[in-house]
Amino acid sequence: MNGFAAHRMLLKMERERPEVLEAVGIIRIDWWFRCLRGIGFLALSGKGQMITQGERWMLRAVVATYMLLVACGLSMLVG
């Protein structure tokens, strides 16, 4: 659910405040590595001061979800 809401928020930000996305290196909302890295910067670094606290918490939830997926994948590989 948070991924869908974050996607809508990022598309709105792309229309209304593209300079925020450019500041963190997001060129396109495509959910590939550059986009995910930019989301991490917005959620966890000082560059996130450019967005509202609610937007920042939503992106933090997305980052936490991806970290959980990576951890689950690694635990399956290790055994």
What is the pLDDT confidence band of residue 20, given thresholds at 50, 70 and 90? very high
**Amino acid, res. 23:** A
What are the pLDDT digits (tens) for 30-70? 989 999 999 999 999 999 999 999 999 999 999 999 999 99
CB neighbour list of residue 8: distance below 8 Å, 6 or more residues apart: none
What is the pLDDT confidence band of residue 3, given thresholds at 50, 70 and 90? confident
Kindly compute the dihedral angle of the four CA atoms of residues 17, 21, 26, 29, in this order, to the nearest 10 degrees.
-40
